[in-house]
Every structure is written in structure tokens, then in C-alpha cells.
Structure 1
Amino acid sequence: MNMIGTLCVYAAICKHEGIPLKCHRSKEAWDNNYVALDVDLIAEQQIWVVVDPNARNEVFNCNNGDVFKWRHLWKVLADKFGIENYGFEGEKVSMVELMKDKGLVWDENIKEYGFLEFRNSEKSLIAWIDKMKAYKVVP
């Protein structure tokens, strides 16, 4: 699961409301190392596995070896959104709870910046199936 998109929405809402970008995870989560995977690298590896005959019937693990800490990522996220007040909150709160009343705020962001509210998952899935068929990855 890619959490960066979700965190960007959270950061955009914090920026819009002028509130701090606080991490509501545990202290352990804030300080521990996590593995980061580059989705483009994974996609390239998946294509290679499908099209290279030498990869047939083999097992692969794809990892680009990067690690991160949430406390380091939070600074990058805050900088990218121009938020000066950020950091560890100390109180664990779910993203669902944080965002439960932010629908109107998100609607304001949509109007201000002109982007779509969502991407239709079914259409997106069909588009990827069509691409894989066009590249002859699947019959």
C-alpha cells in the first residue's frame, strides 16, 4: 500500500487550514526504520519477469534497499507543502478519525486547484488490462 498519496491529502488539508502537520503514530513508529520501495522499480521488475524467458518459473524478491524513518519523511512532506509547524504528536489517532469532518475542506481544495476528486478504479483497471494486452504481456 502506498501511503504517500494519503499523506499528501492530509498535508494539503493541514496547509489549507493553517494547522500543524502532526504525525499521529506511536513513538516507536516515529523512530524506527522502515523499508521503502520504488513503484517504478517494482513495475520494471514485474515486466522483466513476464517477458524474459530466463525468469520463467523462478521466484524473485524486489527491493531497492532504501530505508526511512517517519521523522525524516515528515520534514520532507512539510517542506514540500510549505508547512513550518510539523512533527510528532504523541497521541495515536487514526487517519480516518483525523479526516472524518474534512470533506468540505477537501471540496474547497478541489475548487481552488482544479483537480479531480477521485479516479474511477474500474476504468483504471480496464485501462491497465488494455495496456498489458497491447504490450502482449497477457493474451
Structure 2
Amino acid sequence: MDRICIDGSDARLVAKLHIWAATDDCISSIGGQAFNAINGPSFTWKEIWPILANKFEVEVPQKMFLEDFWFEKAMSDKKKVWQEIVSKQGLIQTEMEDSANWVFLDMLFRCQVKMLGTRDKADHLGFKMRYKTLDSILYWIDFMRNETFIP
């Protein structure tokens, strides 16, 4: 998790890139090309976890950086805890697994290949919108808090 670099894609950037590709005369004339909608610089989760923990006012459990830590296993008995949080915080009634895919996180954090794309083609053709991935993550946390999906 501390060595694996990945990209991030903000949903707002993805939407803007699709609109740009569909409506820009120069782009739409080149025949439906595909573009990578990537925020910008790559990152490691080990860089991001402390900032996320601070946002939620919790500590980062160091055991989650160990090779034998699996989110699916660690979270398997936390459904009741989530329901207590939902009730106590007045959140929208959801099941934990509707908001978090632990199997996907385990795969993402253990992927042994670099999952890096390039946004060079879109940049070269004039699409300049970017987000810093950490800023995107913090934005969406605030958004989900405002909508009472998370505490």
C-alpha cells in the first residue's frame, strides 16, 4: 500500500471531459476518440490515509499497512457498528456494504502492477481541467457529510 502508485478521477472532471469531448467541434470531428479522465499526479494511499484520518478525527491503525491486513475480514463484523453510527448521527439509512466495497479495496491496495494512465492526449487537444486527488477526496467527503451519508 505504501509503494503502489495509482491515479484518481474526480466525477466532476469525468463529466466535464465527456461534455468537452462531445461538444468541442475540433474533438467531435476526430471520430469518437477515448480519453483518460485523470486528476493529475499519482499518489500512494499511505500518503493519503493520515489526512483522511484527521478529517474524520480518528487515528490511522498501523496494522492496516501490514501485508496480512484485509479490509473484507476486518469489516465483516462491523455491520451493527455502522447501524449504530447511522442512528446516532442521524444519517440516511444505509447498509455499510452499499457504501463500501471491501473486496475492491483489498484488490486496489494490493495490486502489484502500476495502475497509471495518462491524460496527455486530452491535454494536448486542449482539455486543461485538473483536480488534486486529495482535494477531490476531501471535497466528496464534505459532500457526503452534507447529504448525511457519512458522519
Normalised to the residue count of structure 2, the TM-score between the two structures is: 0.52
Distance 1:39 1:92, change over 3 A: farther
Q: Determine if contact 1:35/1:66 at 8 Å carries over to the other structure.
A: yes
Q: How does 1:57-136 map to 2 (within 5 A)?
A: 57-59=31-33, 60-87=35-62, 88-118=64-94
Q: How many residues align?
A: 92
Q: Determine if contact 1:31/1:69 at 8 Å carries over to the other structure.
A: yes
C-alpha distance in 1 between matches for 2:25 and 2:9: 25
Cα RMSD, aligned residues only:
2.4
Structure with the higher strand share, 1 or 2: 1
C-alpha distance in 2 between matches for 1:38 and 1:96: 25
For residue 43 of structure 1, the aligned residue among 4, 11, 15 is 15
Q: Determine if contact 2:2/2:44 at 8 Å carries over to the other structure.
A: yes
Q: Computing the radius of gyration over CA atoms, which structure comes out larger, 1 or 2?
A: 1
Unaligned runs of 5+ in 2: 99-151
Q: Determine if contact 1:110/1:116 at 8 Å carries over to the other structure.
A: yes
Distance 1:91 1:61, change over 3 A: closer
Q: Determine if contact 1:45/1:62 at 8 Å carries over to the other structure.
A: yes
Unaligned runs of 5+ in 1: 1-28, 122-139
